[in-house]
Amino acid sequence: MSAIAVSAAFAIVGAESDGLRVLHYLFKPLTTLLVAAMVWRTAANEHGYRRAVLAGLLLSLLGDVFLMLPGDWFAFGLGSFLLAHLCYLRAFRLRGEWLRPIWPVLAYGVIAATVLAYLWPHLPVELKIPVVVYVVALAGMAAQAACIWRQRPDGAALLATAGGACFVLSDALLAIDRFAMAIPLASVWVLLGYWAAQWLIGASVMPVTDTSRN
């Protein structure tokens, strides 16, 4: 945990300082890789869940690289993170039923619709449909995590639920800052939320008593 926090701090400092940009290039992917290593070392009795979370983290690592490359690689980063969220959605499905109860679905649906409505006039035409698809996948992932917590309210489900919420917050801030309105210290808030999300989802890989879904 301490290595992840230190690596994340260096990446954030590099993102905020042009003179230290090399720190961002080195430590941004390293931080996500350290979270993946944490998951790899974690004892677990739901191996399908751990594999799906690891796949999501490695796809996120690919997205990290795309988003920090020179030039406009945003669409490639978006695609990588879309696949990562589908992996997390798969993991959460292994622990319970699809999207039940309905209230987390409705809550995240309202949040997603609100963010999309705000962003829509500012989005480039070629990104409108990809962003809609991405937001639906992101909101669905977070809602599924919350649904599992309601179905089996254990510590692992609570961590995943918090991770999903942090992902929604981080990505909303990223999109607003990129397309609609500059946010002071945006990279700080976005990256803090992002790695909180990844760590929380990674930490949800733990031995659990109910393995009937895996």
Q: What is the pLDDT of residues 7-21, one digit of tens each?
A: 999 999 998 888 888
Confidence of residue 71 (pLDDT cuts 50, 70, 90): confident
Return d(Cα 66, Cα 80) in angstroms, integer. Answer: 9
- pTM over cut 0.85: yes
What digits encode the pLDDT tens for the residues 167-201? Answer: 999 999 999 999 999 999 999 999 999 999 999 99
Q: At what angle do helices 103-119 and 125-151 cross, to 10 degrees?
A: 160
Q: Is it true that the peptide bond before 130 is cis, omega within 30 degrees of 0?
A: no
- Of the chain, the percentage scoring pLDDT greater than 90 comes to 83
State residue 47's pLDDT score: 82
Rg of the chain, C-alpha, whole Å: 17
CA neighbor of 168 nearest in space, from 205, 135, 127, 195: 135
pLDDT of residue 183: 94
Give percent of the chain with pLDDT exceeding 70: 97
Quickly list H helices, the chain.
Answer: 2-16, 21-41, 47-68, 74-93, 103-119, 125-151, 155-175, 186-203
Closest CA to 32 of 214, 201, 207, 212: 201
Alpha-carbon gap, residue 75 to 23, rounded angstroms: 24
**Cα(91)–Cα(51) distance, rounded to whole angstroms?**
8
